[in-house]
Amino acid sequence: MKYLFFVLSVLLASPIFAQNPLGEYLGDESAFYAETKQVNQFFRRFNNEEDKDGVKYNPSDKRYRNLKNRKGYLEILFDAQNVSITNNLKQEFINTVNNKDNPVFLDFRNGDWFSEVTTRFDCKGREETAYLYLRLEQDRKGYKWVLHHVHYDRYANLLPTKESEEKKFIHPMSHELDFMNLNKAFQDIQFLQDYAYQGFKPDYLSLLLYDIKRGDIKFKTVADVKFHFFQVDEWYFEISEFNRSGMNRGWLISSLAKVPEPQKEVFRKYLFRE
């Protein structure tokens, strides 16, 4: 894994609606049908692949991915209480994904989305937080979620990704001394990573699995789950689950930002807390 820390300021999205679009689109039963109960349902609603009762359309049905009806679904898939998404930004995004000449639909099997799971671990009697990042991986004829990245302050403090200002090194003539100065290097705990090869970055996932296997840390619970999407060109959005009363609940777009394609990899590293 390559690690890069980059502070990226992003304007994240959406005003409180002056009027509620749910009633007009979903009818009298809007309070019941407005909730996007599952992540898979978010995909289907985003793509307009099911009706308001949650019944999937047959791909041959003229309503399947119908762009006119889809716009109504897209309108209600945002967290309406997030006052930081401007209506202009939201409408620009909707117009992008619902463009009649080049509409964009989410693909569950597309690799450009991943989950961020906030977890709690017990470390020798102390509760600590670790962020696990999972992605879908094809396995034979199906797919499975796999761990692909970890951020854990315990490891970040132990093996920081930043090098020292005056990088420590093993003298180039050390071979003539049978590398006896390795003793000094391995005692230099604070800058131990300096003695590794150029570009070395610690693998926190390996450390996590090792510590769990040794019994040094024990998994306690999942505290939060969110999903990050990069499937729309020049855009990033995040979905989170909102458990609250009213019609605007369930899995909704909680963050939205325009991110140029060349900057997306940097933005991913920012999300990984690198």
- Nearest residue to 55 (alpha-carbon basis) of 33, 75, 25: 33
Give the containing element (helix H, strand E) for 131: strand 126-139
Q: Cα dist. 101→107, 116, 217, 234 in Å?
A: 19, 33, 52, 17
User: Is residue 32 classed as helix, strand or coil in its secondary structure?
Assistant: helix
Q: What is the pLDDT of residue 194?
A: 87
Q: What is the pLDDT of residue 34?
A: 61
β partners of residue 227: 115, 239
CA distance 35 to 249: 5
Q: What is the pLDDT of residue 28?
A: 46
Residue 261 is which amino acid? E
pTM of the model: 0.83
For the record, the structure tokens of 130 come out as 């670790």
Buried-exposed string 116-152: b where 16+ CB fall within 10 A, e elsewhere: bbebebeeeeeeeebbbbbebeeeeeeeeeeeebbbb
Under 8 Å between Cβ of 84 and 12: yes
Q: What is the pLDDT of residue 111?
A: 83
Under 8 Å between Cβ of 26 and 1: no
Q: Where are the domains of the chain?
A: 22-110+230-271, 113-222
For the beta carbon of residue 69, count every other beta carbon within 10 angstroms: 14
Q: What is the pLDDT of residue 232?
A: 97
User: Is residue 271 classed as helix, strand or coil in its secondary structure?
Assistant: helix
Q: What is the pLDDT of residue 162?
A: 61
Q: What is the largest CA-CA distance in the chain?
A: 84
CA distance 224 to 145: 17
Q: What is the pLDDT of residue 161?
A: 62
Which residue ranges of the chain lie beneath pLDDT 70? 1-34, 161-165
Residue 248 is which amino acid? N
Q: What is the pLDDT of residue 97?
A: 98
CA distance 116 to 217: 20
Q: What is the pLDDT of residue 202?
A: 87
